[in-house]
Amino acid sequence: MAASRRVAAAMIGVVAIMATIAAVDGLGVNWGTMATHRLPPKVIARLIKDNGFKKVKIFDADATTMSGLAGTGIETMIAVPNDMLSAVGGDYGRAREWVKENVTRYMFDGGVNIRHVAVGNEPFLKAYGGAFDRHTVPALRNIQRALDEAGHGTKIKATVPVNADVYDSPASNPVPSAGRFRDDVAGLMADMVKFLNRSGAPLTVNIYPFLSLYGNDDFPIDYAFFDGGAASGDPPPKPVFDNGINYTNVFDANFDTLVSSLKKIGFGNLPIVIGEVGWPTDGDKHATVAYAQRFYSGLLKRLAARRGTPLRPRVPIDVYLFGLVDEDAKSVAPGNFERHWGIFTFDGRPKFPVDLRGGDGRSSSSSMPLAAKGVEYMKRRWCVLAPNATDDEAGRVADNVGYACAHADCTALGLGCSCGGLDARGNASYAFNVYYQAQGQAEAACDFQGLAVVTEDERDVPSQGACNFTVQVAAAGKTAAAACAAVAAAAVVGLAAVLVLV
């Protein structure tokens, strides 16, 4: 009896240990919410904690999202979106309001552990054609000043996440030590960097080895990873030789190009935070689960070893992985892979085994991240092409598939993608189903001029291998109501805290 009680106690201990796992020290993750159906914020916050992430970066300061983070202690980077930069940069009063509503409101015991405010998101991206150039640095100054005046400035620093295209090396000398800021933003970057240094804030940069490879068939693929080609069995990529340093991966080369660019303007020691780095799993021939696993496993081992890069040896790198879960409503302008950046699926299931601690023991490196708990789904039913819908109607089927795909996420259907192997009937069913699920399984969303039927029998659903006909998560009802209640509670407590301070 006593013995079995001891065993039971020991087992409870084991269960408790297994309920969360450790990750690389201080590891962060990006939580984007551009999805037709979002997991409840509390479910996401728990997913973040269970997997040992210490930090999270979000893309706004949405009250629902913040309600999930309240009371968790997770270090949070919130953001002023690009479309607010001109208002916040042009008017200090607006910056003060933003800080009051989106920072001060959460600064109470049990509130949100805000540590950074990202001012804009990649505002100098070439694709924006300079639209945010004038507003970004003034917005950065105004937000930091408002943080300082509200008494949060020591704890909370404003920074600007820039895309890695703000710097490069000349084509005539393509090595990291020749790095410099892009001509058209060099002056802005110098102002920004000077300000960040003075306020004690890091520069934040997003680095994507995947994008070096995407659409560039000449790029040596092994150079995108960290294993010197060992994982592919190829000979190691020819290193880029630079002042006595051999670069064997594009992450190091890219990071050190930034270090050189900073050094050139006198700020070679400014702290750098990697705001986004990751690998997508679908939507392109190089966006696969296997490559993502290879990338993350190499990256995490690197981070755990705290080796830094050749120009910043032994300086641990602060990193936010991109991203937590897939987002089926993101713009696919950059490419179909945009909706597949999650380490986890849209419903919080891990996509591949990887040791988030960055260990290299064989058994631990094959450990699965922990799935989200408490996920509620809609009813298990699907919308598929009706069995009696015939080839005669090929024109109508195609039209309806086109409609479904214009309004829902068909990126998995592309050539070489996870559902690219379906036949024409399977293809149509897939399109009908994603549309039906995105529309919350509304009855009218599974008609398609009589070509579609709802089924609850999984045998009617042509899922195959990695091509999964999904059932969406429940977005309304109990969970949403609970989230709203939590927001209201946070707001009330926040207000109370403000009143006490006043």
Ligand X SMILES: *[C@@H]1O[C@H](CO)[C@@H](O)[C@H](O)[C@H]1NC(C)=O
Of residues 246, 364, 366, 464, which one binds ligand X by CB under 6 A? 246
471 is an interface residue for ligand X by CB under 6 A: yes
Contacting range for ligand X; rule: CB under 6 A; set: 34-42, 94-102, 147-155, 226-234: 94-102
DSSP E strand boundaries for 187-237: 203-206
Annotation marks residue 97 as catalytic: no
- Least CB distance to ligand X at residue 97 (A): 4
Q: Is 331:388 a contact under the CB 8 Å cutoff?
A: no
Radius of gyration of the chain (CA): 24
**33 near ligand X, rule: CB under 6 A:** no
Site map for ligand X, 286-315, x if CB under 6 A?
------------------------------
Q: For residue 122, indicate whether it is catalytic.
A: yes
| Least Å from the CB of residue 355 to ligand X | 21
Please report, as a single letter, which amino acid is at residue 6. Answer: R
What are the Cα distances from residue 383, in Å, to 114, 347, 369, 473, 478? 43, 19, 31, 15, 25
Q: Which one of residues 127, 450, 457, 464 is an interface residue with ligand X (CB under 6 A)? A: 450
SS3 64: helix
Minimum distance, C-beta of residue 8 to ligand X, in the bound complex (Å)? 31
Give the count of residues interacting with ligand X (CB under 6 A). Answer: 31
Query: How many distinct helices (H) and strands (E) make up the chain?
Result: 13, 17
For position 93 contacting ligand X by CB under 6 A, the verdict is no
Question: Does 267 participate in binding ligand X (rule CB under 6 A)?
Answer: yes
Backbone angles phi and psi of 453, in degrees to 5: -135, 150
Segment near ligand X (CB under 6 A); pick from 7-15, 28-36, 55-63, 213-221: 55-63
Tokens of residue 91, six digits? 């008017």
Tokens of 356: 């988030």
Contact 193, 262 (CB under 8 A): yes
Residue with tokens 């050539």: 415
CA distance 115 to 109: 15
Among 292, 401, 452, 483, interactor with ligand X by CB under 6 A: 401
Q: Is 424 in the site for ligand X (CB under 6 A)?
A: yes
Residue nearest to ligand X (CB): 60
- Amino acid found at 445: A
Alpha-carbon span 454 to 379, nearest angstrom: 11
Cα first-last separation, the chain: 60
Active-site hit among 75, 97, 101, 122? 122
Binding to ligand X by CB under 6 A, coded x per residue (else -) over 331-370, reads ----------------x-----------------------
Q: Of 266 and 477, which CB lies nearer to ligand X in the complex structure? A: 266
Looking at 32-40, 155-163, 308-316, 381-389, which segment touches ligand X (CB under 6 A)?
Answer: 381-389
Pairwise CA distance, residues 470 & 457, whole Å = 13
Binding residues for ligand X restricted to 70-89, rule: CB under 6 A: none
* Residue where the block lists tokens 């879960």: 325
Between CA 335 and CA 342 the distance in angstroms is 15
Q: Say if residue 361 is preceded by a cis peptide, omega within 30 of 0.
A: no
Site for ligand X in 103-162 (CB under 6 A): none
Among 244, 333, 362, 395, which residue sits at the site for ligand X (rule: CB under 6 A)?
Answer: 244
Which position among 85, 413, 438, 445 is part of the footprint of ligand X (CB under 6 A)? 413
Catalytic residue chosen out of the listed positions 97, 101, 149, 276: 276
Number of Cβ atoms within 10 Å of the Cβ of 47: 27
The binding track of 175-214 with respect to ligand X, each residue x by CB under 6 A or -, is ----------------------xx----------------
Catalytic residues: 122, 276
